Amino acid sequence: MKRILLPLVLFASIGSFAQGGLLRKANDLLGKSKSGSGLSTEEIVSGLKEALSLGATNGANKLSAVDGFFANAAIKVLMPPEAQKVESTLRSMGMGKLVDDAILSMNRAAEDAAKSAAPIFLDAVKGMSFQDALGILRGSDTAATSYLKGKTLASLTSAFTPAIDSALQKTGATKHWKSVFEAYNKIPLAKKVNTDLSGYVTDRALNGLFFQVAQEEQKIRKDPAARVTETLKKVFG
């Protein structure tokens, strides 16, 4: 996968960080933990794990819904660069619906595969250490996204590949893809195009997944209302 990009309630704390930044918040939490008058180390890690779990699940659910990919211009799966000439040629010849069907089917496959993401994210969250938690608190506004990417990329790739293959068959994408290129290859003097549909859609699906995580992470950092449980309110209040 070349460019891999999912929502994290963890970052609803940005409002309280405004006066002193992420490092001050981390130090405050550590100070409370050491003094015994506030949060314990276990509570800090528990809060972060809860936030990551909620955010990862919400992100995967958003993308696995109908039109989770297709209706989102930022992550919609379009024809690969190698096939753009094919698309424009077919559209100019009145075969736009054929191309549209192929694009819709690819996005449906990505949406279907996204259902397998949440359990993988949750497994990664279970193994988060206190040092991991501090790294996220002290990191950038996409630190949690980077953490999840580092912990889950290999597993997600393994899970998405067969899921995409199956979904492409189920949604008819493979059939539409074949129809597109068969139609194009019948055009006189056309240079035949051979692309890896499954690999391409898997790449795009994972890009979209992590893009969504990053977007939600940044949004929730700015929204105190995202502290939806008592643990989160206690840790980030």
Per-residue pLDDT at 228? 62
On whether residue 4 sits in a domain, the answer given is no
Q: What tokens does 183 get?
A: 């139609």
Per-residue pLDDT at 55? 75
Helices 143-171, 130-138: inter-axial angle, 10-degree rounding: 100
On whether residue 66 sits in a domain, the answer given is yes
Per-residue pLDDT at 222? 67
Plot region of 99 (φ>0 → left; ψ -120 to 50 → alpha; else → beta): alpha
pLDDT tens series, the chain, 237 aa: 333 333 333 333 322 322 233 334 444 544 444 333 356 777 777 777 877 777 778 888 999 999 999 999 999 999 887 777 778 888 988 988 888 988 998 899 899 989 888 889 888 888 888 888 778 777 787 888 888 889 999 999 998 888 888 888 877 777 777 787 777 778 887 677 656 778 888 999 999 999 988 877 777 666 667 666 666 666 655
Per-residue pLDDT at 229? 64
Which residue range(s) make up the domain with 26?
9-236
∠ at Cα 157 (152, 161), nearest 5°?
150
On whether residue 101 sits in a domain, the answer given is yes
On whether residue 220 sits in a domain, the answer given is yes
On whether residue 3 sits in a domain, the answer given is no
The total number of structural domains in the chain stands at 1
Tell me, letter by letter, the H, E, C secondary structure of the chain.
CCCCCCCCHHHHHHHHHCCCHHHHHHHHHHHHHHHCCCCCHHHHHHHHHHHHHHHHHHHHHHHHCCCCCCCCCCCCCCCCHHHHHHHHHHHHCCCHHHHHHHHHHHHHHHHHHHHHHHHHHHHHHHCCCHHHHHHHHHCCCCHHHHHHHHHHHHHHHHHHHHHHHHHHHHHCHHHHHHHHHHHHHCCCCCCCCCCCHHHHHHHHHHHHHHHHHHHHHHHHHCCHHHCCCHHHHHHHC
On whether residue 124 sits in a domain, the answer given is yes
**Rounded Cα distance, 152 and 136, in Å:** 16
On whether residue 1 sits in a domain, the answer given is no
> Which of these, 190, 167, 62, 76, lies nearest to 113 by C-alpha position?
167
Q: What tokens does 48 get?
A: 């972060």
In angstroms and rounded to an integer, the radius of gyration of the C-alpha atoms of the chain is: 21
CA separation (Å) from 167 to 108, 153, 185, 209?
A: 8, 20, 25, 16
On whether residue 2 sits in a domain, the answer given is no
How much is the pTM? 0.69
Q: Are 110 and 77 in contact (CB under 8 A)?
A: yes
> Which of these, 71, 50, 57, 51, lies nearest to 6 by C-alpha position?
57
Q: What tokens does 115 get?
A: 């259902």
